[in-house]
Amino acid sequence: MSLLKMGFLFAMYAQSQGGTPIEMPELEVPPVNERGLASWYGDGSWHGGITANGEAFEPERSQTCAHRTLPFDTMVLIERRASGARAWCRVNDRGPYGVVGDDGVWHVNVGRDKETRYRGVLDMSIATARALTGQPNGLQSILLRHWNPRRLVRFDLAIWPLR
């Protein structure tokens, strides 16, 4: 148990013994780190596949997302710009990669040109999209919040384990 939790529990105990009402501390909201589009992925074709960090992808059960540079297991707060709705999720994959071409078809493009390479800030699992909007529906304009990680990932693409 962290020292912060222990201190909070001790303060609650001390307040309950004194008979005075407990003051709840305000939660610190992380600053906005990125603005852009978020999409959802995992329509069934990815279910059971392996994510970039090596765990099985369960889009309906776990609130996870794919980000290009944040370290795995970083907790991020996604906020919809339109409604202000928020959802927490954990980074466990790399992406989003690809663009929608002139023909209207989504293409994977891993070239070096950032303008044509990326299609948004992150990809959310279906569970994350439902927590954020109630239903997964295309692209969302979002604010991405997280506390600055101690280190950034130095590679762009996922590293697939050799079997």
Q: Which domains does the chain have, with CATH numbers?
A: 30-145 (2.40.40.10)
| Cα gap 131→42, rounded to integer Å | 15
Q: What is the pLDDT of residues 75-133, one digit of tens each?
A: 999 999 989 999 999 999 988 876 656 776 655 554 555 555 556 788 899 899 889 88
Nearest to 37 by CA among 78, 71, 72, 77: 78
Query: What is the reported pLDDT for 91?
Result: 94
Assess whether pLDDT exceeds 80 at residue 60.
yes
65, 90 contact by CB (below 8 A): yes
Full-prediction pTM beyond 0.75?
Answer: no
Read off the pLDDT of each residue in 14-26 and give the average, rounded to a whole number.
65
Distance, CA of 140 to CA of 138 (rounded, Å)? 7
Task: Indicate whether 154 pLDDT > 70.
Answer: no
Contact assessment for residue 56 and residue 9, using Cβ atoms and an 8 Å cutoff: no
> Is it the case that residue 2 has pLDDT exceeding 50?
yes
- Whether the pLDDT of residue 163 is over 50: the answer is no
At 145 the pLDDT is: 92
Average pLDDT rounded to a whole number, residues 43-58? 82
Question: Token pair for residue 129?
Answer: 């999209």
Q: Which of 125, 123, 122, 136 is nearest to 58 (CA)?
A: 125
Tell me what percent of the residues of the chain surpass a pLDDT of 90: 19
